Structure 1
Amino acid sequence: MTATLVLIGLLALLALGVPVGFAMLITGSVGLYALVGFDALQGVLDSSPLSVASAFEFLTIPLFLLMAEFVLRSGKVDDLFRATAAWVGELRGGLGMATAMAGAGFGAICGTSTASAATLSATSLPAMIRQGYHPSFAAGVVAISGTLAMLIPPSVAMIVYGLLANVDIGKLLIAGILPGLLVMGTIIATVYILATRHPEHAPSVGHVSWSEKFSMLRSVLPILILFGVVTSVIYLGVATPTEAAAVGASGAFLLMASCGKLTRANLLEALNRAAHGSAMIIVILIGATVFGYFFALTQVTQNLVGWVGNLDAAPWVILVCVLFGYIVLGAFLDQIAILVLTVPMVVPLMASLDYDLIWFGVLVIVTAELGMVTPPVGLNCFIVARYAARPLGEVFRGVAPHFFAHVIAIALLALLPQITLFLPSLMK
């Protein structure tokens, strides 16, 4: 009964707009007080912030956020879209394909979907509309391409899942590479099909000489090298994800300096934004920790696992139901909120069904991507509409075909776990 009342209270606070970290902290504290009294609650509140903040793996988040901020201020992000557009822009729907590639490239630097969507809205969306692309077509491509940042390493959502599920973060980040490329390919294929069916919505752009193509490619070479170094040191076992994040942040700092953008204002703004993002995530994790203590005492997770174990249903049926639940939740909640609310309950369930937790984590992240473009919330669609000054309905219409294509990609990843687990299996 206590667990039910606390869950109702949590949902009520979220409905009132209370940030998820504080909502979980408040309701978890109330639940603990009701179950074990004030002294035990005080012990949990005294130890939880230190245990979360002192985790070595948590340093990965502020360092990757700092890397993203430095790269953003280097001015190289605009070059990323121009370079991809130069190479594939002559194809039918080429600028849309370039947006998907740029989304993957920026995701490899940024790690957060909302920042990726905002950046693409300011760069690729105006370029597509200037070239005669239908606004709805262009907005849909930008909104869905922004979600790649959740999957392509480094991904803040992946790191949060790894911390909550207690799985190897290095393997988890590397596991996102091939699924990320698959999702990028799915977006490109969808753009090509839509552009072929409605060529007036996606005209090709003018010819770009080979010398210009290679010149533009050279301009983004520092970003490609930075991503390659960060990913390689994790994959080869040379460095932990935290150490790789430090290398990435240092490299991004040097990149910003080499581009002549190392000013006091830029440096302070980058540090401030990275600190703000890190503080937001640590509050969420502290709230999740307190709420997790409450859940452990009520044995809700153990009861759920036992109940599912007694069901006369195949494991894949349960997996499909769980993934469908993530799509529904994604329509209303932010992806980080979804992870902290569900992972402590769902991961033990998946483990009891003998599913690989790294593979499942990638599936959860890919499914959560859909929530970023699903009505009524669809955070990426709101961001694109705001930054591009386009009607929200136009963005949702443009992203609808990509939603169904995304479902096909999720089905492939669920049916073929080796796509996700191949690279991690080769790691040292």
Structure 2
Amino acid sequence: MVMVVGIGLLFALLVFGLPVALALGMSGALGLYLIGGYQTVVGILAATPLHALSSYEFVAIPMFILMANVIIASGIADDMFNVAKTWVGRTPGGLAHATALTGAAFGAISGSSTAAAATLSATSIPGMIKQGYDPKLAAGVVAISGTLAMLIPPSVAMVLYAILANLSVGKLLIAGIIPGLLVTLTIMLTIAFLVWRDPAAAPAAASYSWMQKIRSLRVAWTFILLFMMVTGVIYIGIATPTEASALGALAAFGLALWRRTPLAAFKRAIIVAVEASCMIAFIIIGAHMFGYYVTMTQATQSLVNFVVGSGMPPWVILVIVLLIYLILGCFMDLIAMLILTVPIVAPLMHQLGYDPIWFAVITIVMAEVGMVTPPLGMNVFVIAKYTRMPVGNVFRGSYPHVIAHLLLVAVLVLFPQLITWLPSTMSN
């Protein structure tokens, strides 16, 4: 009964629009009060902030967010789009393909999905619209390409999942590389299908000579440097993910200074990074309050025992969990969804014998789908805000990519080695 009261209050507060951090904290505090009284609430509240945020791995989150915002301020993303446009712009749907490739490249040097969506909105949508692209196709490509930053390392979502599930941050980040490439390929194949079905939706762009294509690669060294300063050093074992995040932020700052980024842009990047980091920190503190309450009720262990003892095949349970993630993604922010579900679902999947790294990547891919699924797809609203395009048009442009993503999830479920192989080759 106590568990029902706490969960009921949590969902009621979320429905009424209270910030996730406050909803989690208030629900957890009420539940703790019902279980242990006033002294229990005060004691846990006094210790939780330091305990929740003292994790060494948590430092990687603000560093990756800072890195992403400095990259945006420096204009490096514009260079990446121009390189991709030069190489594939002439092909059918070329600018859309260039957007997908830019999303993958930006994801490889940035951990923020919303930052990626905002940057791609300003970088690629105007070019596609000017070229005569169907606005729905253009917006849908940008919406789904922005989600690649959640999967390809460095990824704030991956770091947070690893902290919540007590997994190796480095191995989980590296595990996202091959699925990230497969997602990029899936986006491009979906674009090719849409253009084949309606060639007028994506007119061909200008062609470039081989000399122009080769010359365009002169700016690619910035992407390679940032990629090696983060993902490269993690895979080789030179640095931990936390150290790599600091190296990446430092490299982004150095490149921004080299490109003579205005001081005002620096200031804005730092402010945005601080705001986002504080938001995540408050959510984590609230989640710890709610987590203590769930632990004291033994609800997680009871649920695991019930499901394991129900006699249902593990694959059926997996499908049900993935469907739940799909539904939650329609209504809930990614960070909130991970914080609410991972402490409960991760032990269940481990008990059923599923590889925790594999399931983490599957969860992130499902979260990608949620970022572009109505009614609360975060990337869709970001794109609508930056382009002043109707939200409905962006959602309509995204749905073919949602279907393609779900097919890819089925492939990753059937062939788990696509996820688990690369991290298994790491030295530690």
State the TM-score, normalizing by the size of structure 2.
0.98
State the shift of 1:105 in Å: 1.1
Whole-angstrom distance in 2 between the partners of 1:240 and 1:371: 30
Aligned 1:317-332 pairs, distance under 5 A: 317-332=316-331
Q: For 1:22, what is the secondary structure of its paired residue?
A: helix
Q: Which residue of 2 aligns with 1:267?
A: 266
Instruction: Please say which of residues 272-281 and 317-326 is displaced more in the overlay.
Output: 272-281
| Distance apart, 1:110 and its partner CA | 2.3
Residue 270 of structure 1: how far off its partner (Å): 2.1
Does the CA-based 8 Å contact 2:96-2:128 persist in structure 1?
yes
Write the distance in 1 (CA, Å) between the matches of 2:149 and 2:246: 19
8 Å Cα contact 2:68-2:115 kept in structure 1: no
Classify the secondary structure of the residue corresponding to 2:17: coil
C-alpha distance in structure 1 between counterparts of 2:266 and 2:120, whole Å: 23
**Deviations 1:243-295 (CA, angstroms, capped at 9, x unpaired):** 0001101111110011011x442332222211111111111111111111100
Unaligned runs of 5+ in 1: none
Shift of 1:137: 1.1
Show the counterpart of 1:134.
Answer: 134
Identify the residue that residue 193 of structure 2 maps to in structure 1: 193
Q: Shift in Å at residue 358 of structure 1? A: 0.9
2:32 corresponding residue in structure 1: 32
What CA distance in whole angstroms lies between the structure 2 residues aligned with 1:300 and 1:293? Answer: 11
Give 1:154-303 correspondences, 5 Å limit.
Answer: 154-261=154-261, 263-303=262-302
Give the aligned partner of residue 405 of structure 1.
404
1:171–1:427 Cα contact (<8 Å) kept: yes
Distance (whole Å) between structure 1 residues aligned to residue 369 and residue 297 of structure 2: 32
Deviation string 1:301-339 (CA, Å, 9 cap, x unpaired) is 011011101212110110010001000000000111100
- State the alpha-carbon separation in 1 of the partners of residues 104 and 86 from structure 2: 16
Structure 1: which amino acid aligns with 2:106?
F
Q: 2:308 — aligned with what? A: 309
Q: Letter of the 2:177 partner, please give it.
A: I
Tell me which residue corresponds to 1:73. Answer: 73
Structure 2 residue runs of 5 or longer lacking an equivalent are none
Of 227-236 and 294-303, the range deviating more from structure 2: 227-236
Q: Deviations over 1:3-45 (max 9, x none)?
A: 1011010001101111111110111011111101222222211
Q: Which moved more, 1:323-332 or 1:115-124?
A: 115-124
Asked if the contact 2:81–2:98 (Cα under 8 Å) also holds between the matched residues in 1, the reply is yes
Equivalent residue for 1:395? 394
How far apart in 2 are the matches of 1:273 and 1:392? 24
Are the aligned partners of 1:63 and 1:246 in contact in 2 as well (CA < 8 Å)? yes
Residue 388 of structure 1: CA displacement?
1.2
Question: How far is 1:347 from its partner?
Answer: 0.9
**Identity fraction in percent:** 52
Q: Deviations over 1:104-133 (max 9, x none)?
A: 111122212111111111111111111111
Letter in 2 for 1:400: Y
User: 2-side partners of 1:341 and 1:349: how far apart?
Assistant: 14
What CA deviation, in whole Å up to 9, does each residue of 1:343-376 have, x standing for no partner? 1111111111011111111000000111111111
Q: Does 1:378 find its partner at 2:377?
A: yes
| Cα distance in 2 between the residues matched to 1:205 and 1:371 | 31
1:417 equivalent to 2:416? Answer: yes
Q: Matched residues in 1 for 2:89 and 2:266: separation?
A: 35
In structure 1, how many angstroms separate the alpha carbons of the residues matched to 2:27 and 2:43? Answer: 16
- Alpha-carbon RMSD across the aligned residues, in angstroms, is 1.1
**Distance (whole Å) between structure 2 residues aligned to residue 138 and residue 272 of structure 1:** 30
Query: Any conservation in 1 of the 2:229–2:251 contact (CA below 8 Å)?
Result: no
CA distance in structure 2 between the aligned counterparts of 1:389 and 1:287, rounded to whole angstroms: 34
For the residue of structure 1 that corresponds to 2:167, the secondary structure is coil
One-letter code of the match for 1:175?
Answer: A
Deviation, structure 1 residue 231: 0.7
**Residue 369 of structure 2 corresponds to residue 348 of structure 1:** no
CA distance in 2, matches of 1:391, 1:271: 30
Q: Is the 8 A contact 1:76 1:220 kept in 2?
A: no
Distance 1:284 1:313 in 2: 34
Aligned residues of 1:52 and 1:58 also touching (Cα < 8 A) = no
Per the TM alignment, residue 204 of structure 1 is displaced from its structure 2 partner at its CA by: 1.2
